[in-house]
Amino acid sequence: MKQSTASALGRHALLIAGASIVVTPFLWMFTTSLQSRAETYSNGSILPTSWHWENYAVAWEAAPFGQYYLNSLVMAAGIVSGHLILDALAAYAFARLRFPLKDAIFLVLLAALMIPTFVTIIPAYSLVASFGWIDTYWGLIVPRLADVFGIILLRQYFASIPGELEEAALIDGLTRAGIFFRIMVPLSLPAFATLGIFSFLFAWNDFLWPLLVTNSDELRTIQIGLSAFQGRYGTSWNYLMAGTLTATLPSIIVFMFFQRALIRGIAASGLKD
């Protein structure tokens, strides 16, 4: 008993040391965002010593962060709902329906998952450009309305639901669409939550694609806007950190509320391997 108390203390010590390293950049970002410009060059304190909350207002006025935020929200809403609907429909077909070439199609999708985005991004960009979708919400959203990861995740979940439920429902005269919406969807809400969070974080944090397909402030997403802001105000660290923190907040809040669903999803996709 004595030894296990000692080892618990040792683990706490190591974990606290590690967690401090992990958390330092966040504290530093917060502290700097509240300093005056002069302090950012002289003050090494990791905890706030001054409280210039007006830095946030200054940063938000120096660049159209409101517009960036809105664009990111619209894009994220589009992508998340796309994934939830399109991925779920396809996942149901792969989990339950019979159709020719089912395994072959699924294998092609799995293989596509292995291909680095660099390979597809150039042709996908030319395609979107030829549709006239550069600098539009279409270009930001439509190419990413469905993804293979979501199909795999939901297919696995649907497959774990007992088939007897559906057989009974079919006998009772429910159509496949009826079964999907009235039985499968309500039973799979945890899986939908996991996918929704993954998709939101992906969309909110995405960089390369929005960088390519937007070129005006009216369409730039928060990450692109932030990167451009850094280019212009690179040494105004206090404003830059205020902007960075506001850009990061939504993902952190989503993470804090839905930590469980997120971690469950990683565990599921890791185990699958």
Partner 1 sequence: MITAIAFLTPALVVLGVFVIYPIISAGYISLTSWNGFSPVKDFIGFDNYARLAQDPEFWNSLLVTSIYAAGVCVLSVASGLVVALLLDAPLRGRGFYRGVFFLPAVTSSVAAAIVWRYMLDPSGFVNTVLEGVGIQGPDWLQDRWLALGALTLLTVWKNVGFNAILYLTALQALPEGVFEAAQIDGASFAQRVRHMTVPLLKPMTFFVIVQALITSFQSFDLVYVLTGGGPQGGTEVLGMIMYREAFRLSDFGYGTAIAFVTLFLVLGVTLVNWRASGSGKSSLR
| Contact with partner 1 (CB under 8 A) among 57, 110, 122, 159 | 122
How many other C-beta atoms can be found within 10 angstroms of the C-beta atom of residue 98? 6
Q: Does 191 bind partner 1 (CB under 8 A)?
A: no
Give dist(CA 241, CA 29) in Å, integer.
5
From the CB of 218, what's the least distance to partner 1, in Å?
Answer: 19
Q: Does 107 bind partner 1 (CB under 8 A)?
A: no
Give dist(CA 196, CA 191) in Å, integer.
8
Residue 198's H or E segment, with its range, is: helix 189-205
What is each CA distance from 78 to 82, 142, 254, in whole angstroms? Answer: 6, 8, 17
| Contact with partner 1 (CB under 8 A) among 32, 55, 199, 214 | 32
| Contact with partner 1 (CB under 8 A) among 90, 153, 191, 195 | 90
Give dist(CA 29, CA 248) in Å, integer.
11
| Contact with partner 1 (CB under 8 A) among 142, 161, 169, 187 | 142
From the CB of 2, what's the least distance to partner 1, in Å?
Answer: 16
Q: Does 247 bind partner 1 (CB under 8 A)?
A: yes
From the CB of 160, what's the least distance to partner 1, in Å?
Answer: 17
From the CB of 92, what's the least distance to partner 1, in Å?
Answer: 6
Which residues fall within 8 angstroms of residue 208, CB to CB, at 6 or more apart?
Answer: 117, 121
Residues in the chain: 273
Restricting to residues 51-80, name those near partner 1 by CB under 8 A: none
